[in-house]
Every structure is written in C-alpha cells, then in structure tokens.
C-alpha cells in the first residue's frame, strides 16, 4: 500500500462553507429546516457545509462523546414516527453488518427502524445538497465514549487502564481529561484495522469528506492512568501511524477524503504523517496574530492544501475573542487586514475576509461569526463539562442580505463555483 496520494482537496476548485452543528439548525432537527439551510448556503455561494459528529450525544449534549461511532442520532429526525417497512430494516442490517446488530442489542427495540429513518432523512438532505453544489464535511472523533455500544460490542479492542486526554495547552492549564477508553492498537493492527475501515466507510456514507479530530493521536497519544484527577498525570504513547488510513484506502478503493485536525501540540512527526498521507490540515485565524511572522496560522503562511477557519467549535466566537483581546493584538489584526486588502470596519467581517482570502483551498466560517455573535453563542468550552452544544440559529437569521454579503466576499476571495 502506498503511503502517499496527490491530495483529494487539490482536485477541487477553491471553495468555502459554513460550520453549523446539525442540532444547531432552526428547531434542532433535519427535514425542511435543513433543506432551507442548504438553499441559503447555495444562495450565499457556499460549496461546503461542515457538521459536527452525527452520533447520539451523551447527557451533556456532546457529539464527541457519542453512544455509537456508527449510529445516527434519532433526536435529529424531523419525522421520528415515519413508517419503516421490515424489508428496509433487513436491508439496512445487511448493508451495515459490521455494526448494526451490535447497536440494536445496545439501544433496544426500534433502534434499527430509527437508523433507517435517519439514513432516509440524511440521504434526502445529501441529495438536495449535491444538486445545489454543496458538499458535506463530516467530523469523526478519534476516540469513542466509555460505555458506548462500540466498547460493549468489542471490548478486546479497548483498554481501560489508560484514559484519553491531552496535556496542558492553549485551552486548559491542566490539560483535558476526556476520559475515553484508549485503543489496543496492536490488536487492531492484527486484523488489518477492520474496525477502523468499517468506521471510516460509515462516515463516508454520511459525508463527502471527513475531518479526523485529534489526528496527532495517530502518531502519539496522551494516556492518563485511570483514577487520575487531571490530565497532567499522563504520558505520551506511540500511536499506529498511517495504518488505519492505509487500511481504509486499500479496502475502499483509493482516496479516503480526510482532513487532519492538526491543532495543539504538533510535532514534526505529525506533520510528516499528514503530508505522507496527502491530507489537508487546518489553519485557524484566532491563533494567527502572536508568535511572529512565521506563525503557521497567519493567512500568508497557509498552504494551499489546507482548510482555513476564523475559529472552530472549540474556540470562542470571533466577536467574543475580539472583545477579550488586548489592544496590541487587535492592532496586529488590523495591520494584517490592511496588508492583505481585507479591511472591514467590523473586525469580525475583517476576519471573515482574511479567511476567505486565504491561499487555503477551502475556507470555513462558523455560523455564529457570520451573525457577529458574542461569547454567549460559543459552541463549546474545552475542559468545561456543562453549558455547551446548545446554540441554535434562528430561521429569521438566514436572510437574503446576509447571503448576499457572504456571496460578495466569497467572490472577492475567488471561491465562487
């Protein structure tokens, strides 16, 4: 198996899109609200809709701690009572043999009917998006939740003595103790990473490309002894490297369109693996304005094979970030806006301009930034358990005027289809 490819993103034209959790749609469900959002994206000249993971979230609402790495969340259904024929259930079980029976045993009666409904509604949405030139960028957490259907169904693939997390970083002084079980990578390698192949295949059934969260964990992962109170007790452990991605490419027939979430404590080894696999990484404007001229997040330093963001779901909104920034940092932002011809009297829209003007082949802006919302609309605060994942866009926010403004900046950035 070859370790390189020519980069799936390289073959697409410059484009841009909007980051919006499916549960953040008006009403928090699929159906007509999702179709109207796709229509608004197309009107605004966008070619991507980035979503967060679509699985059944935990009790805090976190889609990154879902009860299944494969199942869709029935809570997103616009028509949860829609009729399902037994033949549809049988066909679904056959198509998804790697995980569906295990999910049915875990979730109980009606679980497969719900998955048929989810695939039906999501499939209709994807077809609607494709017809309007909008691709879906999905999101796949590296880890699965403790007590999930995945751990219960294949306990031999997971270890409970070391829990997942990250060491102290930008987001948390004590690091982040996620608490997920970690992988027995040797056992996964022994069967050709079959679980990972099935997982990636499922995600590519749901999206046109998939962001692999915590990509650096393939190189080295932070293992925290069970019972430790903070992530500072952890140590680095060697990951599987390219193995899971190469296995998926071999099984699925070539390109596996992934985006490497290469944020945080990134080493040369992580960059080498990303580049060996030909994957685009991420660049985040909120990280760009300190650290000098070589800061990789400065727009002039963005590689073409990357995805540029104002901020991610883990960042404050750009308005909130700006309001808390010191004056020297604000002045640095203004300086870069002037240098790159991206000036706007509203600094949030200036950041949007900088992002869409980036050399990166793809640019993504959270919906909250397009609406100019402050910290109260933040999606997630890493290391904080409660009070996240609740924000929703309102139907009346998706105006023609906003679409026209975004379309104009998209054209200025050379990203219109």
**Residue numbers annotated as active site:** 213, 261, 314
Strand, coil or helix: what is 169?
coil
Tokens 């990473």, residue located? 193
Structure tokens at 219: 């190189």
DSSP string for 223-252: EEETT-SSGGG-EEEE--TTHHHHHHHHHH
**Cβ–Cβ < 8 Å for 97, 131:** no
Residue 177 main-chain phi, psi, to 5 deg: -100, 95
Tokens 């990280």, residue located? 287
- DSSP-derived letter for residue 315 is S
Put the strands of the sheet holding 258-260 in their side by side order: 258-260, 209-212, 135-140, 48-50, 15-19, 362-366, 306-309, 281-284
Between vectors from CA 137 to CA 395 and to CA 273, what angle results, nearest 5°?
A: 150
**Cβ–Cβ < 8 Å for 184, 158:** yes
* Best CA proximity match to 96, nearest among 79, 115, 109, 82: 115
Distance CA 351, CA 318 (A): 8
**Cβ–Cβ < 8 Å for 56, 212:** no
**What's CA 190's distance to the chain center, in Å?**
28
Distance CA 261, CA 113 (A): 33
Residue 128 region, left (φ>0) first, then alpha (ψ -120 to 50), else beta?
Answer: alpha
Radius of gyration for the chain, computed over Cα atoms and rounded to the nearest angstrom = 21
Please tell me the total number of residues recorded for the chain in this structure.
417
Residue 52 region, left (φ>0) first, then alpha (ψ -120 to 50), else beta?
Answer: beta
- List 183's β-bridge partners, or say none: 158
């Amino acid at each position: 198996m070859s370790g390189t490819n020519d980069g799936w993103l390289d073959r697409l034209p410059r484009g841009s899109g909007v980051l919006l959790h499916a549960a953040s749609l008006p009403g928090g469900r699929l159906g007509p609200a999702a179709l109207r959002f796709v229509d608004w994206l197309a009107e605004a000249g966008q070619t991507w809709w980035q979503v967060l993971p679509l699985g059944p979230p935990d009790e805090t609402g976190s889609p990154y701690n879902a009860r299944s790495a494969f199942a869709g969340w029935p809570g997103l259904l616009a028509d949860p009572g829609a009729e399902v024929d037994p033949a549809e259930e049988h066909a679904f079980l056959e198509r998804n043999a790697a995980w569906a029976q295990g999910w049915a045993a875990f979730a109980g009666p009606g679980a497969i009917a719900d998955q048929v409904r989810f695939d039906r509604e999501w499939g209709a949405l994807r077809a609607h998006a494709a017809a309007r030139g909008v691709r879906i960028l999905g999101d796949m957490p590296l880890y699965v939740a403790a007590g999930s259907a995945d751990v219960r169904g294949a306990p031999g693939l997971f270890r409970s003595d070391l829990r997942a997390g990250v060491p102290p970083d930008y987001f948390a002084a004590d690091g982040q103790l996620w608490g997920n079980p970690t992988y027995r990578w040797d056992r996964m390698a022994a069967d050709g990473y079959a679980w990972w192949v099935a997982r990636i295949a499922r995600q590519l059934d749901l999206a046109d490309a998939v962001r692999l969260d915590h990509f650096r964990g393939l190189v080295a992962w932070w293992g925290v002894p069970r019972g430790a109170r903070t992530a500072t007790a952890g140590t680095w452990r060697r990951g599987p490297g390219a193995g899971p991605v190469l296995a998926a490419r071999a099984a699925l027939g070539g390109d596996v369109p992934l985006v490497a979430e290469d944020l945080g404590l990134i080493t040369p080894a992580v960059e080498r693996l990303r580049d060996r696999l030909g994957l685009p990484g991420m660049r985040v404007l909120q990280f760009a304005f300190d650290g000098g001229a070589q800061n990789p997040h400065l727009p002039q330093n963005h590689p073409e094979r990357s995805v540029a963001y104002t901020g991610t779901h883990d960042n404050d909104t750009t308005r909130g970030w700006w309001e808390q920034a010191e004056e020297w940092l604000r002045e640095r932002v203004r300086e870069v806006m002037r240098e790159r011809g991206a000036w706007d009297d509203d600094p949030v829209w200036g950041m949007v301009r900088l992002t869409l003007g980036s050399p990166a082949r793809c640019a993504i802006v959270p919906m909250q930034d397009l609406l100019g919302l402050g910290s109260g609309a933040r999606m997630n605060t890493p290391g904080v358990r409660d009070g996240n994942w609740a924000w929703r866009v309102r139907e009346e926010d998706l105006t023609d005027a906003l679409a026209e403004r975004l379309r104009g900046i998209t054209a200025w950035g050379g990203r219109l289809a």
